[in-house]
Amino acid sequence: MSLSFENRTLGVRIDTENAAITSGFGVYPLTLQLTLTPFGFEKGTVVELTAELATHGNPGYWLASSTRPVRTSLYGGTATCSIMFPLTSAQILGIEEHRSGQKPGFALKLHGILPADPAETGQESSEYFAIAASTWLDLIERVSAAVAFTIPIPIAVTSGAHAEGAELLKEARHHLNAGNIDAAIVSARGAMERAEAVAHWPSLGNDNARSRSVEQRWRAIYQAAMSQASGAAHEDDVTKDFVYTRREAEALIGVAAALLKAAPGPLA
């Protein structure tokens, strides 16, 4: 990608390996690092950059404008600068749902002006780029648990079944973000088993559902969730063709987290 100002050209490369997502006030800013290579500019020329970010697809969806103009001095060699886009949790969720475990694609529209040159009206250039799936996964797993699609995971303050369940939930979330739906549900099933191992909810027997105790009702929830999650292992003729969606996997991971919270024991 490049911006042309009469007989001067500014080459721009997007360094996707150094992308970052941070927690903000109700937003999760995505920062992209740009490498600038000037040709024909006088030493010390200042360029001011703004940008628009959208998803790459058919159709593509607008995501955000850069938070503020970025001014960088050009010194003959390459220069770097960072440009930031405030994303909401809903937007990150949308990106996650549509990438399906693949690398997310984006479109960057860059606008540049030379503040010291009043005759220059500014130039624009666009480029499609993608962030490696592994890099994107690392980015979103580092942000706050307040992100809407992130499953809140109980924090166990001791070792044992609680801690094992929490680790299995993290594993499930990792599989989910990587697009491995069945593996995510299998890990969630393991977390449910750890919750039951701690709780020892009583058997239901042939009792009247309306007369069940609190503990028996938790047992009923556990049994129903385990039955559903077991289908992801495809271990028999009934479940071998079961297909689960991402939303269903999210729901089962959420149920597993809730069961772990409901099980008695120390949690942070």
Whether 106 contacts 55, CB under 8 Å: yes
**Bridge partners, 32 (sequence order):** 83
Q: Torsions phi, psi of 247, nearest 5?
A: -65, -40
| Better-scored residue on pLDDT, 12 or 157 | 12
153 pLDDT higher than 80:
no
Instruction: Dump pLDDT digits (tens) for 89-121.
Output: 878 878 877 777 788 999 999 999 999 887 777
Please identify which residue in the block is written with the tokens 């100002």: 5
Q: Residue 172 CB: number of other CB atoms within 10 A?
A: 29
* pLDDT value of residue 155: 60
| Better-scored residue on pLDDT, 143 or 242 | 242
The pTM of this model reads 0.61
Q: Torsions phi, psi of 48, nearest 5?
A: -115, 125
* pLDDT value of residue 179: 80
pLDDT band at 156 (very low <50, low <70, confident <90, very high): low
150 pLDDT higher than 80:
no
Q: Residue 58 CB: number of other CB atoms within 10 A?
A: 4
Pick the CATH number of 161-262 from 2.30.30, 3.10.150, 1.20.120, 1.10.287: 1.20.120
* pLDDT value of residue 133: 87
Query: For the domain 2-142, what is the CATH code?
Result: 2.60.40.1820
* pLDDT value of residue 94: 81
Whether 10 contacts 38, CB under 8 Å: yes
**Bridge partners, 243 (sequence order):** none
d(CA 100, CA 145): 21
pLDDT band at 220 (very low <50, low <70, confident <90, very high): very high
pLDDT band at 60 (very low <50, low <70, confident <90, very high): confident
Q: Tell me which of 68-82, 134-148, 254-268 is least confident.
A: 134-148
Calculate the average pLDDT of the chain: 86
Nearest-5° angle of CA 260, CA 142, CA 66? 135
Instruction: Dump pLDDT digits (tens) for 158-211.
Output: 678 888 888 898 888 888 877 889 999 999 999 999 999 989 898 887 777 888
Domains 2-142 and 161-262 in one fold: no
Please identify which residue in the block is written with the tokens 């549900």: 185
Domains of the chain, residue spans: 2-142, 161-262
267 pLDDT higher than 60:
no
d(CA 136, CA 57): 17
